[in-house]
Structure 1
Amino acid sequence: MDAIVGTTQEAKPPFDQERLDRLMEEADFDFLIAASKHNVQYLLGGYKFIFFSAMDAIGHSRYLPLVIYEKGRPDRAAYIGNKMEAGEHQNRPFWTPELHTATWGSLDAAALAAEHFSKIGRTDARIGIEPAFLPSDAYIALRKALPDAKVFDATSTFERMRALKTPEELTKLRKASDLITESMLATIAASREGSTKAEIIERLRREETNRGLQFEYCLLTLGSSHNRAASEQAWAAGEVMSIDSGGNYHGYIGDLCRMGVLGEPDSELEDLLHEIDTIQQAAFSKIKAGAMGEDVIIEAEATLKTSPSAAFTDFFCHGMGLISHEAPFLMTNHPVAYEGVDADRPLEENMVISVETTMLHPKRGFIKLEDTVAVTATGYEMFGDTGRGWNRGGTAA
């Protein structure tokens, strides 16, 4: 197969090589093969091929980018990409010393990966992979080509690699969060009596896109309904709106929820949102580097139990970054299916956490706040912190 070899004179990884090498040493891996878009993006310093940004399938197969990294040997790293990525390399050379842009499918990528291990004489290496992101045909082909290699699940190693954000990553997460809240507040203000959920969601998509975000999703409720799917339900005077959206800024996800009301909030609505914010503030009070992850959960849940609306209110907390649920993992199967392995570990500076409290009120509807915070040495920094009260609908000119 054709291969374009990068012209980088000295391999300079765009990530914390010492930290990744230490994580690999702890897991006893000689190599990592990244196959997910988010880990490939991380190891390539933020690069994401635009042609396959919204899809993977092409022809009879799929786009399968691979980054091969050897512990302590960035000079032997390789990137395996699609044929069209040769132009990307010409414009902004990839840092990996070896570059293969000759693939059109998963089997092509697997063959080039095996060829790389043969070329450097490491066909018997201990290799960490991403089982959830390496297609079965590529995995079988790789195992057949490298029968002496030992292959292991490296999902946790990749998650630990991304857990601490760099200043550049924090800037992108802050930007994503700020732009999402701006978009949500503009959407609430522009929505009026009679605006349907489908129209409001489309409005939010345009607001986010016009601000440079890639729209990911919108979960929307109106009135007393708890149904967050798009529909022709229309907003009525006096009703609340819960608008929960994820937007992607250069690969980094912002995920927040804000509340709107068509008219003026009555005293009950003010009290209900205050209950939610009190739980949020309790969680924030325990967030700082060195605090145990479970302390955040314990404090929030203890405050929730004192709430008059505790019977229909829930608290949740999860890590944020290139994907919407990543390390630190603080709660078990609540609601996403994973173990809360970080509950009994200390929080670390530059972790990013989503904190959310949801009330399914039987009469007033779905009331929620979701906030994104970065862990600092002495506490936390909140991203996208505007609009946390009741935002009035129908106020845009």
Structure 2
Amino acid sequence: MQVRINKLQELLAAAQIEALYVTNPENRYYLSGFTGTDGALLVCRDKTFLLTDFRYLEQAKDESPGMTIIEVKDSYAEALASILAENKISSLGCEGEHLAYNQFLMLKDKLVNLEIKEKSGLVEKLRLTKYDDEIKNIAEAVRLAEQAFEKVLPIIKPGVSEREVALQLEYSMRCMGADGAAFDIIVASGPRSALPHGVASTRKLREGDLVTLDFGAVYHGYHSDITRTVVIGEPGPKQQEIYYIVLEAQMRAIEAIRSGRRASDVDRIARDVIAAKGYGERFGHGTGHGLGLSIHENPRLSSKDDTVLRQGMIVTVEPGIYLPDWGGVRIEDTVVVEESGCKVLTGIPKDKLINLLNLS
């Protein structure tokens, strides 16, 4: 953790602040390892303070050794004001995207002679590239989600509701050791598979349905994200056509990922494959996104993101085609960017459209 703190401290001078008040829970965990539900960090140029209340003092000492633990007795604003005064700090950065307005007003009231600057994104900049322990946690989150998927496949059959499938997926992930589901599990069947974010409904599966399952696990705070599209019965010609177009787009994008490539270039490669087949207007979202302590992080594999990919970044690759009143297909894997390519963490087969009625 100290390496991460040191890197953040190096950014403070360039950001023209003497300290950063960290209130985003994911950033707090990233920098301190503290898992309590109430707390904040004050990262100064040579010191770091973890502020929390009585309930979490022993936990903070155990999870965040080396940090100065401050008990908050009245308010975070008062505790912060005391620390800043003692350390003669005159300029403070805050995470405006995560600091509630009423909390900001309290800070302004208590820190009368101190300049407060909005400095969101400093910790997120560090989180772009993952350390080895983070990659291992994400890989384990992928493994848990994959095992749950394999366990649930046999129950995906006519008469079962989308919600039942989603519930069994989450239950299986938790039984295997996951902290929980990474997000509301998507199980979208038949015409509903044309909904990119078709969260599981009460609709019962029918023979002939395409079924898109988008799911992930959380392990030690880190997320996985996987999508597979299957069919209940023998796939029809159009189902096969759409599936293999999406698969080609996804494979081309994965082949293009390497350190030095722009995120927007990867998006364009996937999008060009789908557009060339006449379905460009039916692929309306980005090709992928970063993930880690959040399910959606930077960089984004999008035409609007020119981030240069670097070794250690982790992104999803998830092109799709969605046809209203018919259905849709999406295929998604999680990959680690490497110097000369990428490592695919997801191992669930995708080379063909799986007929669930033919499972052996």
After TM superposition, the score normalised by the length of structure 2 is 0.90
Q: Percent identity?
A: 20
Equivalent position of 2:270 in the other structure: 300
Equivalent position of 1:385 in the other structure: 347
Q: Distance in 2 between matches of 1:148 and 1:102?
A: 22
- Deviates further, 308-317 or 220-229: 308-317
How far off its partner does 1:395 sit?
Answer: 7.0
Q: Distance in 2 between matches of 1:93 and 1:245?
A: 30
Question: Which of residues 202, 227, 245 in structure 2 aligns to 1:232?
Answer: 202
The correspondence of residues 116-265 of structure 1 with structure 2, limited to 5 A, is 116-122=83-89, 124-125=90-91, 127-213=92-178, 214-215=180-181, 216-225=183-192, 226-227=194-195, 228-265=198-235
How far off its partner does 1:383 sit?
Answer: 1.5
Residues 76-134 of structure 1 deviation map (CA, whole Å, 9 limit, x = unaligned): 210011321123145x252343102345xxx7222211211112122x12x22111221
Residue identity in the other structure for 1:48: T
SS of equivalent to 2:241: helix
Equivalent position of 1:79 in the other structure: 50
- Deviates further, 238-247 or 15-24: 15-24
Residues 342-370 of structure 1 deviation map (CA, whole Å, 9 limit, x = unaligned): 41x42111111112112113464121112
Q: Distance in 2 between matches of 1:14 and 1:256?
A: 32
**Where in structure 2 are there 5+ consecutive unaligned residues?**
none
How far off its partner does 1:164 sit?
Answer: 0.8
| 1:320 is aligned to 2:291 | yes
- Deviates further, 359-368 or 137-146: 359-368
Equivalent position of 2:35 in the other structure: 48
Residue identity in the other structure for 1:220: V
Do the aligned partners of residues 155 and 141 (structure 1) sit closer, same or farther apart at CA in structure 2, a change above 3 Å counting?
Answer: same
Contact 2:245 2:273 in 1 (8 A): no
How far off its partner does 1:379 sit?
Answer: 0.8
Contact 2:271 2:280 in 1 (8 A): no
Q: Distance in 1 between matches of 2:154 and 2:108?
A: 56
Question: Which of residues 321, 332, 335 in structure 2 aligns to 1:370?
Answer: 332
Q: Distance in 2 between matches of 1:172 and 1:318?
A: 18
| 1:20 is aligned to 2:13 | no
Residue identity in the other structure for 1:372: T
Q: Distance in 2 between matches of 1:37 and 1:326?
A: 14
Q: Distance in 2 between matches of 1:354 and 1:93?
A: 30
Residue identity in the other structure for 2:20: L
Contact 1:361 1:367 in 2 (8 A): no
Do the aligned partners of residues 301 and 66 (structure 1) sit closer, same or farther apart at CA in structure 2, a change above 3 Å counting?
Answer: same
- Deviates further, 353-362 or 159-168: 353-362
Q: Distance in 2 between matches of 1:376 and 1:323?
A: 21
Question: Which of residues 358, 363, 379 in structure 1 aligns to 2:320?
Answer: 358
SS of equivalent to 2:116: strand
Question: Which of residues 78, 92, 97 in structure 2 aligns to 1:111?
Answer: 78
How far off its partner does 1:250 sit?
Answer: 1.2
Do the aligned partners of residues 330 and 25 (structure 1) sit closer, same or farther apart at CA in structure 2, a change above 3 Å counting?
Answer: farther
Q: How many residues align?
A: 353
How far off its partner does 1:220 sit?
Answer: 1.6
Do the aligned partners of residues 242 and 353 (structure 1) sit closer, same or farther apart at CA in structure 2, a change above 3 Å counting?
Answer: same
Residue identity in the other structure for 1:270: Q
| 1:68 is aligned to 2:42 | yes
Q: Distance in 1 between matches of 2:32 and 2:354?
A: 40
SS of equivalent to 1:374: strand
SS of equivalent to 2:293: coil
| 1:281 is aligned to 2:251 | yes
Residue identity in the other structure for 2:146: T
SS of equivalent to 1:327: strand
The RMSD of aligned alpha carbons is 2.3
Do the aligned partners of residues 224 and 385 (structure 1) sit closer, same or farther apart at CA in structure 2, a change above 3 Å counting?
Answer: same
Question: Which of residues 14, 24, 32 in structure 1 aligns to 2:20?
Answer: 32
After TM superposition, the score normalised by the length of structure 1 is 0.82
- Deviates further, 370-379 or 186-195: 186-195
